[in-house]
Amino acid sequence: MNRREFLKTVAQGAAVAAASRVMSPGGAAAAPANRVTLAAVGDCIVTRKISHLRDPDFLAVAELLRGTDCVWGNCELVFADSRDVYPALKGSDPHVIAPAWGADELAWLGIDFVGTANNHILDFGNEGMFSTLANLERVGIAHAGSGPDLAAAARPGYVDSSFGRIGQVNCASTFPPYFSAGRAHPYLKGRPGLNPVRLDQKVRVDRKLFEQMKKAELASFELRGYNEFVSMDGDPFAKVPKDEWWFGETSIVAGDGVDFLSAAVPPDLSRVTDAIKVARNNSRLVVASIHAHESRRKLEQPDPFLQPFARACIDAGADAFFAAGPHVIRGIEIYKGKRSSTA
């Protein structure tokens, strides 16, 4: 489906939604009891103003969003004056920034609630992140996923809607390592950043190839002179499990055939699900969301960690799970009667 076809489809949905509203005796639209309309728009990267556009399909989408009880999105850029902040060192990943009016444009579009944990929130350092959060708050857009330390970044965010309070726990698995927020210490402040979900990723190879790769890595270890550390720190390989090793920066395991194994590390999974339980106790509807570029074979198929992670979030009390990041359309799973979208 191309962009124009997509917009027309959404526009038709807007007309259907408008026609199906329940009317009160006075003629005003009234939401059905115990029902909420929640829209998710994915990655929001608004670096040019959009409020002046008059394309009918675009305006129909905007009207559809404004007609819902709550609109969620991923705020994947920094709102700051580029003359006041400095770009972070990121390698090939681009920096994304918009002036403060970018937040006003999202509010005009109808965005109520955003996640801020992603691979761009610290594109312009701590100052850029704090400026982004301040501008979202200035225009009344609730947020979750980043903050001055790990406790704040992991904390649920809340928005009040006509349906009632809606909670969100937001995190990211795709980010530069230094974007991760850190815990506060009795003698130190915490590190500003995002709520991280680190992944335990391994490549499984057949046993013959495993032994060849292990042999090559040991030879490389010796060539780089790392053996000298053995005499000082003891044998670094003594506690490595029999069928596990690494090749460069890649962890490898021996097994049948080649495959990619991936799972969220337990402490990060626990931190996210614990926050969902808090949100469950303090809101009528709970959204869990993640920024995850990781895929399997092609972008449309998510990394193996994502479905178990999404299910764990729903088991903890989330009513819906949204994933954003790769800029493609992925599948939707109905798990225990609840929606899990890994797009």
Provide the mean pLDDT of the chain. 89
Indicate whether 312 pLDDT > 90. Answer: yes
Which distant-in-sequence residues (6+ apart) come within 8 Å of 123 by Cβ? 77, 78, 87, 88, 90, 95, 96, 97
Strands of 38-44's sheet in order across? 38-44, 70-75, 113-115, 142-144
Convert the pLDDT of each residue in 230-276 to its tens digit. 666 667 677 788 899 989 889 999 999 899 999 999 999 999 999 99
Closest among 262, 242, 238, 266 to 250, alpha carbons compared: 262
Residues 36-196+266-341: name the CATH superfamily. Answer: Metallo-dependent phosphatases (3.60.21.10)
User: Model confidence over 108-144: pLDDT tens digits?
Assistant: 999 999 999 999 999 999 999 999 999 999 999 999 9
Say if residue 103's pLDDT is above 90. Answer: yes
Query: pLDDT above 90 covers what percent of the chain?
Result: 75
Question: Which residues of the chain form CATH 3.60.21.10?
Answer: 36-196+266-341
- The pLDDT assigned to 233 comes to 63
Cβ within 8 Å of residue 186, ≥6 positions away: none
Closest CA to 293 of 120, 130, 128: 120
Tens digits of per-residue pLDDT, 82-98? 999 999 999 889 999 99
Residue 296, strand partner residues: 298
DSSP-assigned states of every residue in 281-304: HH-SEEEEEEE---EESEEEEE-T
d(CA 20, CA 305): 39
Query: CA 174: distance to chain centroid?
Result: 8
Q: What are 178-216's pLDDT values in tens digits?
A: 999 999 999 999 999 999 999 999 999 999 999 999 999
Report how far residue 54's alpha carbon sits from residue 44's, in angstroms, rounded to the nearest whole number: 19
Global pTM value: 0.86
Say if CB 327 and CB 343 are below 8 A apart.
Answer: no
